[in-house]
Amino acid sequence: MNRATLLQNAADLLPSLRERAADVEVARNVPDSTIKDLIEADLFRVMQPKLWGGYELDPGVFLELGMLLSTACGSTGWVYSILCVHSWELGCMTRTAQEEVWGDDTNVLVSSSYAPTGEVEPTAGGYRIRGRWQFSSGCEHAKWALLGARVEDSDGPRTCAFLVPRSDYVIEDTWRVIGLRGTGSHDVVIEDAFVPDHRVHALTSGSDVSDSRIYRVPFPALFGYSLTAPVIGMAQGALDAHIDWTKNRTRKATASKVAGEVFSQIRVAEAARDIDAARVQMLATFDDMLQTVDRGEEIPYEARVRARRDQVLGTRAAVAAIDQVFTNSGAHAIHETSVIQRFWRDAHAASLHNSNVAEPILSAYGALRFGDEQPGPF
């Protein structure tokens, strides 16, 4: 399987995703039929280890797929990106953990909630874990979840992800929101469960089942961009819809063509530039990282911080592009039937995810340029 085939598979799904998008919002969840389509198109296998039937393709291919799907339905693209990046993360965990998840079915999906809101207690061979985790996108389609908690050991305090089977947690229907409505990002609750050491991930890269270079990419960079790619796709979807609408739009007072107005043309140009710049920068980031890996070098701290800088600014640029489109679409855009307002709501909701919040990342980058290395999610 190669990049071109997977992108074509994704493109073939776009008409049906557009048709379902309004119903996805009403249902507050991506339908099983869409998840089935994504599985049958092999899209979840893009970064899955070859040992389990995956393709181990470069992160850029995965990010392109997330962008493309999001041009049709923001919620679907968001859920795809998050569930799919966990196939890469699981590839960075122990073979034993991978066997538990994929041993009987290599199509099994994993959701997550990384905020360290869980309580853990060390015990023989692992940890007891309990708590409530919010915002687990796509959790109803997953048979496992990666849940965050703080641990303290010889390496000091750190946040880890605990891989937990569906039988150990319950999903509480809590997702009633104004943006990304169709992502089913409900709460996950555990009363008490045992998690063995081999299912605890320190959110680091590396793999014991594959020597593929993709498993040496830093987790914070790839997970962060898995949340930026859908926003870029939403912006592109909104821009495309705006152009289609504006081509035939006239001012009622003057009967003049809106597409012929200079300020309308300028806003389209500015929005397109922001989208293109965010996409190009995102793909270049991982090209640079993979070149470093190919040279047998560790990806330096400066490159990790720069990647997060460009990631959060990519999200900001995509949201700014959608704002341009929304503003230039007039009152048409506020109708519930307008796809532009849905993209606008979805993108603004996505920008509120902790990994898309810019200020802490930009501060760390600025401090680095002044000679101060700060700890952080890099």
Residue type, 122: P
Residue type, 88: W
Q: Coil, strand or helix: which one is 193?
A: strand
CA distance 320 to 343: 12
- H or E element, residue 263: helix 262-294
CA distance 18 to 22: 8
Each residue of 211-241: pLDDT tens digit?
Answer: 899 999 999 999 999 999 999 999 999 999 9
Q: What is the mean pLDDT of residues 250-261?
A: 72
CA distance 56 to 243: 36
* pLDDT averaged over every residue in the chain: 94
Q: Are 183 and 79 in contact (CB under 8 A)?
A: yes
Residue 113 pLDDT:
98
Each residue of 270-298: pLDDT tens digit?
Answer: 999 999 999 999 999 999 999 999 999 98
Per-residue pLDDT at 161 exceeds 80: yes
Per-residue pLDDT at 97 exceeds 90: yes
Residue type, 229: A
Treating both helix axes as pointing N-terminal to C-terminal, what angle do 301-328 and 339-350 enclose, rounded to 10 degrees? 150
Residue 253 pLDDT:
64
Nearest alpha-carbon partner for 30 in 142, 112, 107: 142
**What distances in angstroms separate CA 30 from CA 17, 175, 190, 207, 303, one per listed residue?**
10, 13, 24, 31, 35
Per-residue pLDDT at 263 exceeds 90: no
Q: Are 136 and 112 in contact (CB under 8 A)?
A: yes
Confidence of residue 377 (pLDDT cuts 50, 70, 90): confident
CA distance 283 to 271: 19
Q: Are 78 and 345 in contact (CB under 8 A)?
A: no
- H or E element, residue 120: strand 110-123
The sign of the torsion formed by the CA atoms of 133, 165, 75, 115 equals positive
> Does 144 or 377 have the greater pLDDT score?
144
CA distance 58 to 61: 6
- H or E element, residue 114: strand 110-123
- H or E element, residue 346: helix 339-350
Q: What is the mean pLDDT of residues 120-127?
A: 95
Q: Are strands 110-123 and 126-136 parallel, antiparallel or unpaired?
A: antiparallel
Q: What is the pTM of this model?
A: 0.95
Structure-token match 């048709």, residue found: 19
CA distance 13 to 80: 13
Per-residue pLDDT at 26 exceeds 70: yes
DSSP 3-state helix, strand, coil percentages of the chain (rounded to 5)?
60, 15, 25
Q: Coil, strand or helix: which one is 145?
A: strand
Task: Write down all domains in the chain, each with its CATH number in brackets.
Answer: 3-102 (1.10.540.10), 110-201 (2.40.110.10), 217-369 (1.20.140.10)
Each residue of 239-254: pLDDT tens digit?
Answer: 999 999 888 877 766 7
Token pair of 207 as six digits:
């793999």
Residue 374 pLDDT:
76
- Provide the CA 300 distance to its chain's centre, in angstroms: 24
CA distance 43 to 70: 14
